[in-house]
Structure 1
Amino acid sequence: MSSEPLYIQIKRFIENNIENGHWAVGHQITTEMELTKQFSVSRMTVNKAIRDLVGEGKLERKPRLGTFVKAPSTKAESPLLDTRNIAEEVQQRGKMYSSQVIQHASINADQEIAIKLGIMLDSPVFYSEILHKEDEQPIQLECRWVNAKYAPNYHQQDFTTVTPNEYLSKNCPMSAVEHTVEAITCDANLASLLGMGAHEPCLLLHRRTWSGDKLISSALLYHPGSRYQLSSKITL
């Protein structure tokens, strides 16, 4: 019997059917109710497996119709309504993940950062600036400020071997997240870091995360618009 979690086994079953051509692009997959019976699991377990595959761009839900195999996207994609580890996202797409730490420092909060984190001026804050890559191509620049009071060991982490998301998820379990997305024009330095051409659009995701009633971090996530997209799937 496999030692993998049940939802992973269901994901593997769906992925195998797609990869061996049994379920082609546009094919409606087995219903959640049928998968629940087939694997003797709860509807919640099946839903998590399918939700993950939707987030990875392998499936798409069509309200009142079902779930279908999705055509591969030429863009990297992240779910807008989730906060997943970007290293896992890249690896699940069958790509190689790597990162470059540009800055990693302990600072005192200026007025702007104090407001973002809801702390007093000059409070200790950890700042990290990391360039995330997929097959050596930049897909995200992450600029993150973390309240040092709630994550005191953040500045000691090696962010070439663990991502900030992974570390914070384990040490400050997320209870709430705030997202704002906008399209911006990059300055020359940002465009160079992300390998963007002149006049290429840039997607900027503002994110703040809470653990319990504690505001843990505030981040700016920059993405090259021609190679990255944010998705949101809502079933009505």
Structure 2
Amino acid sequence: MKIDKALPVPLYQQVKQYLYDKITSGEWTVGHQLPAEKELAKQFDVSNITVKRAVLELVDDGLLRRQVGKGTFVTQIEEKDITKFVSLKNEAWETHHHPHKTLSFKTVRAGSKLSTPLHVEKDDIVYQIHRLKMQQNEPVAMEYSFIPQSLFPDLQQPDIENDLLYNIFQRKYGVQLDKAKIYFSTILADDYEADILRVPKGEQLFVFERFTSTKDKHIIEYSRFIVKQDQSKYFLEIQL
């Protein structure tokens, strides 16, 4: 591994190009584990910071992914439809399986934070559901959902196991869904999010906030999805 320190090209870009060539040439295939950054720094005769910057840029480009405690691997960008990811209507709910791990299911008072988005009184009771969305036994998103208890008075934790909330609304309660409004933002992973989603602390995560209304214009649900960015590129497709 040769880096020419006499060139005007920054060292991290030379390292990045070398790694990029290994991946795009097919020499390093999907799933290939890179040497540790310290080992790469030694082989390139550059600093650890130089190697880390090169690796992080390739992570941002979607060519590498980092797994806490495991290492850095060659990956492949997977395109995902945002509307499907945030669990919009699924016509085949009777036959589909939707892996979720329930972390918390309880009732709380709406308070000032939930009364406004859910259009309820501060003293009204809402279900507070915290779940982990799984894909191939790997966590891909944290889901926080809030639902007015008055609309679904007998909702129990077993009802939501490995299923979409929308399926439950329609199958068990016969609710006619109308619209979902979704907001997009990003955050940096804190200690809890990093631990649950198995990402480094400070890694950027997508945030999708969803407000669901019925045919009679009632807000029945507010959900917040905190989503890993690795290996995925999200899209919206609009019919013209």
Matched, 1:226 2:230: yes
What does the per-residue CA deviation read over 1:42-72, in whole Å, with 9 as the maximum and x for residues that have no partner? xxxxxxxxxxxxxxxxxxxxxxxxxxxxxxx
Are residues 167 and 97 of structure 1, via their aligned partners in 2, closer, same or farther at CA, if it must alter by over 3 Å?
A: closer
Q: Which amino acid aligns with 2:222?
A: S
Partner of residue 101, structure 2: 100
Task: Please report the TM-score for the alignment, with normalisation by the length of structure 1.
Answer: 0.59
| Residue 80 of structure 1, CA deviation | 3.4
Matched, 1:134 2:145: no
Structure 1 unaligned spans of 5+: 1-72
User: Which of residues 184, 197, 200 is equivalent to 2:200?
Assistant: 197
Are residues 116 and 193 of structure 1, via their aligned partners in 2, closer, same or farther at CA, if it must alter by over 3 Å?
A: same
2:142 and 2:226 in contact (8 A); partners too: yes
| Residue 214 of structure 1, CA deviation | 1.1
Q: Which amino acid aligns with 2:88?
A: R
| Residue 125 of structure 1, CA deviation | 0.5
Q: Which amino acid aligns with 1:224?
A: K
Task: Map 1:1-236 onto structure 2 (within 5 A).
Answer: 74-75=77-78, 77-80=80-83, 83-84=87-88, 98-170=99-171, 171=173, 172-212=175-215, 213-236=217-240
Task: Please report the TM-score for the alignment, with normalisation by the length of structure 2.
Answer: 0.59
Task: Give, in whole Å, the separation in 1 of the partners of 2:151 and 2:205.
Answer: 31
1:109 and 1:122 in contact (8 A); partners too: yes
Partner of residue 62, structure 1: none
Q: Which amino acid aligns with 1:180?
A: Y
Q: Secondary structure at the match of 2:169?
A: helix
Structure 2 unaligned spans of 5+: 1-75
Partner of residue 19, structure 1: none
2:98 and 2:162 in contact (8 A); partners too: no
Task: Give, in whole Å, the separation in 1 of the partners of 2:79 and 2:143.
Answer: 16
Identity %: 13
Q: Which amino acid aligns with 1:148?
A: Q
1:206 and 1:219 in contact (8 A); partners too: yes
Aligned length: 159
Q: Secondary structure at the match of 2:213?
A: strand
Are residues 202 and 120 of structure 1, via their aligned partners in 2, closer, same or farther at CA, if it must alter by over 3 Å?
A: same
| Residue 122 of structure 1, CA deviation | 1.3
> What RMSD, in angstroms, separates the aligned Cα atoms of the two structures?
2.7
Q: Which amino acid aligns with 1:112?
A: K
Task: Give, in whole Å, the separation in 2 of the partners of 1:227 and 1:163.
Answer: 23
Q: Which amino acid aligns with 2:206?
A: L
1:132 and 1:140 in contact (8 A); partners too: yes
Partner of residue 50, structure 1: none
Are residues 160 and 152 of structure 1, via their aligned partners in 2, closer, same or farther at CA, if it must alter by over 3 Å?
A: same
Are residues 176 and 235 of structure 1, via their aligned partners in 2, closer, same or farther at CA, if it must alter by over 3 Å?
A: closer
Are residues 174 and 185 of structure 1, via their aligned partners in 2, closer, same or farther at CA, if it must alter by over 3 Å?
A: same
Q: Secondary structure at the match of 1:175?
A: strand
Task: Give, in whole Å, the separation in 2 of the partners of 1:193 and 1:116.
Answer: 26
Task: Give, in whole Å, the separation in 2 of the partners of 1:107 and 1:228.
Answer: 34
